[in-house]
Chain A
Amino acid sequence: EVHLVESGGVVVQPGGSLRLSCAASGFTFGDYTMHWVRQVPGKGLQWVSLINWDGDDTQYADSVRGRFTISRDNRFNSLHLEMNRLRAEDTALYYCAKDKGSRIQPALYSFDIRGQGTLVTVSS
């Protein structure tokens, strides 16, 4: 069974930095594109970033491009999100998600959110 556990969310001051992690299990992590998705409490979902199976391709939402960096370590089945120059509007619950497609399967343009998320609060 796919299992994703996010961690690293804390209270941080505006302008600060934070690194989120996602521990994956139950599937061949290195075969899948991975995503970060966030949700402001009480609001809708927002896709944040993706990284392909070997880390060669990354994409970002306009609102985080240039401030956030997604990375992965396939040796340790882990996904990360380095967050810099944090703003109040980055306050949200951050989920990691597993792509529906894989390295050996055509893109399905969808993903599964399997974790409980980690809460990032940007406040002074």
Chain B
Amino acid sequence: SYELTQPPSVSVSPGQTVSITCSGHKLGDKYTSWFQQRPGQSPILVIYQDTTRPSGIVERFSAANSGNTATLTISGTQAVDEADYYCLAWDSITATYVFGGGTKVTVL
């Protein structure tokens, strides 16, 4: 089965930039999405189709996807960005969606 691998945690200072990676075999050939989940809340879609921000998502969220790695970047990180982040991809071979294990972003 297809697998997506994320680092368990990353930390960042307020105002700095942090990048979260998501790795999978030929992931660049698939469309990747990213979800943010703040403590005690439901997940929110912050990126879809590799690079598109849904309406209402702030510009400091950006993403890229190439080769075997997709990357979510948060610029000018704020305390409100402290959350778990999950990548998602569609595996056409198994006709299933796959989530990465999630990355906890801590704003120090």
Contacts and interface: CB of A to CB of B under 8 A. Distances in A.
* Interface of B, helix, strand, loop or mixed by DSSP: strand
A112 interface: yes
Interface of B: 1, 30-31, 33, 35, 37, 42-45, 48-49, 54, 84, 86, 88-90, 94-102
Contacts, number: 63
A37 B37 CA distance: 14
B101 A47 contact: no
B35 A113 contact: yes
A117 interface: yes
A104 interface: no
A100 B42 contact: no
A114 B41 CA distance: 11
Contacts of A50: 97
B99 A110 contact: no
Interface string A35-55: 101000000111100100000
A110 B49 contact: yes
A109 B42 contact: no
Contact of A111 (B45, B49, B89): B45
A116 B37 CA distance: 12
